[in-house]
Each structure stands twice: as C-alpha cells, then as structure tokens.
C-alpha cells in the first residue's frame, strides 16, 4: 500500500487544475507582453487569475503579485520593505520557515538590521507579550510571524498580532503559505502589510505563488527586467502556473468547510489510534484543535534504536511522511523548530500531514506499520 502523508511539503495536484493548465498550454501560447491578439489573450488570462485570487481573499487585484512561490514572495516583502522604509530593527520567531528566518539573519549579518527573536513556549506558542515589550522599545519595526507553523501546526492569532503592530506603527508580514487555501483570509478585515501564498500547498502546481502587498505600501521589485507584474517582477510570467494557482484556490474555497471537517476527523482519528496502540507516544505543538492546523500532526515517538531510521522504515512500507520541514530534508542538523521548543532529541518526531484525498484506511495502515516497528524494537 502506498500512503502519502506529507501534504505540508506539497499536495497532489487537483485533476481540474491540470485540465485548465493543459488547455492554457495547448491553446494560449502567446507572450503576455506582446501587443498582438495572441499576447492579449494570454494577458487577459493572467489578469482574470489575479482577480480570482483577489476576490477570494477580499483584496484588490492591484495588491496581488505573482511570484515563483512562497520563498520568493517572503524575500521580496522582507528585503524590499526593510530597505525601502529604512527599517533597522526586525522581530520574528525562532520557529519561522527558513525563507523568513534565513533572510532576516542574512540582513543582520550584513549589518542592515538588528534582529530579535521572540520567546516561545515548550509547545511552540509565540509570546505576544514579549512582542509588545520589544516594540515598545523599538517602534517602526519590521515584524514577521507566520500564520501557522509548517512543522508543529500551531496557529497564531494574526488579528491580535496586527493590533499590536498597528499600535507601535510596525510593518507586519506573515508567511501564510500553510494556511492559504485551507482557511479563509479577509484582507479588508485583517490589517496586514504583506502575506504570501504558494499554489502547491493547496493542490495547485509547483513553482508559482503570490505576494499580497497592502495598497498603502510601496516597495521596489526584488527582480528587475521587463515591466511584468506592473513593474514589480521582471521576467515572462509563468502563465500556466498562474492559471493553475487561481483554479486551485477557487476549488479550495468552494468546499473549504467540508474539507476541514473531513481532514480534521482523520487527524483526530490518527491521534487517538496512536495514543491507544503505542505506549509513550506524545505530540509536538499545541493540542487544542482551534489553535492547530487540521492538516498537520507532529508525532513524538518513544525513544528507539531505530530513531534515525524511522522515516526510512516508513518509506520501505510505502508511507511518505516528514521529519520536519520538507525544505530541510537531507540536512544533518535536524529541525530548528524542534530544537527551538526543546524537544527531546532521543525521541524520533514524524510530521504527518493530510489532505482531502487521504482515507481512514490509510491511517489504519500507517498506525499498524508504526506499531509493528515498535514491537520489533
């Protein structure tokens, strides 16, 4: 049996998304920057996709900029906002995705900012009181806090963070890659400067994402070249990816509540089965469903001499999962998120992440394989 439970890394593409992308590839091949009919047709497709994304997150089309993915979008917001506004102080958490953390650390190494890391609890909850304390000392700061942690699944209250940032006139950026397409975002209600999305996290294609820039903000491009994306991102647009992104997000919003209920039930079921069948199992991150991604379950397994081979053994049995962020796979240093919360290095941790295509039968199979591994050990 083959079971894919690494959806926080990437999701399988929806067949309806493939359909619209193939149609665009085969019928609409003009360069969107060309002024002839073939070019105008493709340009119209991009703008239609932009309007779709904007309408779904309640933003203006002029606030949506397509990128190669979440990493580029994060870099563009962070680097250009800090440079453009002359900001010399930034705040983030030690649990951020490396697209954010490494970018800010590099800016600090270059002497452009002083970077403060927020305190976090042993379950990975960010200390917002600490955020207020730091902002009180350093107004007009750049703040970057992700909506949901990609390894633990912890959700941060963006509305509360936004209120704090507004109080101290801070620029607020949030990496919303893990929640885009899984939770509704209302950018008219939520006062935030920048958010990011990546299509492959909600059953769209890889290599395409977007950056939302609140209309009140003006920053320079990260990539220079042509006049694409209203002079904000040089280079011929990834037309088919953009079309696929818009379709995937549209599908995600059509039955978001239904998918949430279905996937949450799978997560809860797996948690229950693991608790009952593997003595000493625990879970990293917060346990309250309201404060945790319904798509992510980070399992802390009992110490075992097979700890280093846990993912390999699961893979042999046809189970795809992750030991942390997929963007760090192959690294020898392990998960900076688990280190950040002081997780026991002797306990193997596995992140299982779910999507609408997973079934209870698959969960039963995975739990059975884990149980067998512990019986053998």
Final residue belonging to a domain, choices 235, 254, 273: 254
**CATH at residue 52:** 3.40.640.10
Number of domains in the chain: 2
pLDDT of residue 324: 52
Mark whether 214 and 318 lie in a shared domain.
no
List C-alpha distances in Å: 355 to 5, 47, 181: 8, 29, 11
- The pLDDT > 90 percentage for the chain reads 90
Q: For residue 15, what are the contacts with CB-CB under 8 A and spacing of at least 6?
A: none
pLDDT score recorded for residue 100: 98
| pLDDT score for 346 | 85
Specify the CATH number for the domain of residue 264.
3.90.1150.10
In three-state secondary structure terms, 183 is strand
Predicted pLDDT of residue 323: 85
Q: What is the pLDDT of residue 329?
A: 47
Residues of the chain falling short of pLDDT 50:
325-331
Given a contact cutoff of 8 angstroms between Cβ atoms, the answer to whether 351 and 323 are in contact is yes
Structural domain harbouring 72:
15-254
**Do 316 and 221 share a structural domain?**
no
- Same domain for 85 and 196, yes or no, is yes
Domain identity same for 279 and 320? yes
- Which of 239, 254, 269 finishes a domain? 254
Q: What is the pLDDT of residues 78-132, one digit of tens each?
A: 999 999 999 999 999 999 999 999 999 999 999 999 999 999 999 999 999 999 9
pLDDT of residue 254: 97
What is the model's pLDDT at position 345? 86
pLDDT at position 238 is: 97
pTM recorded for the entire structure: 0.95
DSSP secondary structure, 67-122, as one string: ESSHHHHHHHHHHHHHHHTT--EEEE-TTS-HHHHHHHHHHHHTTS-EEEE--B-T
Last residue of a domain, one of 254, 269, 289: 254
CA distance readout (Å), 2 to 106, 313, 321, 348: 40, 13, 11, 22
- Tens of pLDDT, residues 141-166: 999 999 999 999 999 999 999 999 99
Active site residue ranges: 327
Domain shared by 226 and 354, yes or no: no
Q: Are residues 262 and 239 in the same domain?
A: no
């Amino acid at each position: 049996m083959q079971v894919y439970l690494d959806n926080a890394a990437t999701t399988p593409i929806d067949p309806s998304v493939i359909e619209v992308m193939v149609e665009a590839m085969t019928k609409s091949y003009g360069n969107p920057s060309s002024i002839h009919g073939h070019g105008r047709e493709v340009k119209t497709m991009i703008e239609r996709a932009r309007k779709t994304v904007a309408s779904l997150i309640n933003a203006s089309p002029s606030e949506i900029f397509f990128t190669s993915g979440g990493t580029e979008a994060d870099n563009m917001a962070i680097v250009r906002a800090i440079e453009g506004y002359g900001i010399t102080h930034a705040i983030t958490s030690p649990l951020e995705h490396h697209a954010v953390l490494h970018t800010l650390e590099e800016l600090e190494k270059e002497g452009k900012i002083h970077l403060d890391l927020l305190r976090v609890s042993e379950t990975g909850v960010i200390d917002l009181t600490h955020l207020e304390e730091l902002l009180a000392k350093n107004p007009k700061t750049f703040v970057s806090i992700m909506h949901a942690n990609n390894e633990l699944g912890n959700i941060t209250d963006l509305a509360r963070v936004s209120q704090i940032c507004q109080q101290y006139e801070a620029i607020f950026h949030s990496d919303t890659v893990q929640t885009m397409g899984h939770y509704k975002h209302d950018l008219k209600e939520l006062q935030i400067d920048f958010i990011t999305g990546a299509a492959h996290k909600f059953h769209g294609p890889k290599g395409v994402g977007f950056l939302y820039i609140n209309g009140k903000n003006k920053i320079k491009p990260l990539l220079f070249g042509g006049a694409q994306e209203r002079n904000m991102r040089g280079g011929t647009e990834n037309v088919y990816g953009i079309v696929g992104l818009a379709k995937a997000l549209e599908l995600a919003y059509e039955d978001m509540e239904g998918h949430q209920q279905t996937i949450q039930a799978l997560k809860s079921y797996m948690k229950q089965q693991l608790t009952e069948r593997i003595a000493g199992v625990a879970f990293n991150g917060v346990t309250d469903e309201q404060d945790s991604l319904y798509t992510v379950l980070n399992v802390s397994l009992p110490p075992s001499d097979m700890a280093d081979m846990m993912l390999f053994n699961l893979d042999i049995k046809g189970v795809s999962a992750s030991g942390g962020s997929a963007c760090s796979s192959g690294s020898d240093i392990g998960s900076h998120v688990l280190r950040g919360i002081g997780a026991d290095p002797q306990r193997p941790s596995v992140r299982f992440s779910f999507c609408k295509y997973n079934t209870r039968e698959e969960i039963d199979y995975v739990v059975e394989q884990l149980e067998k591994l512990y019986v053998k050990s």
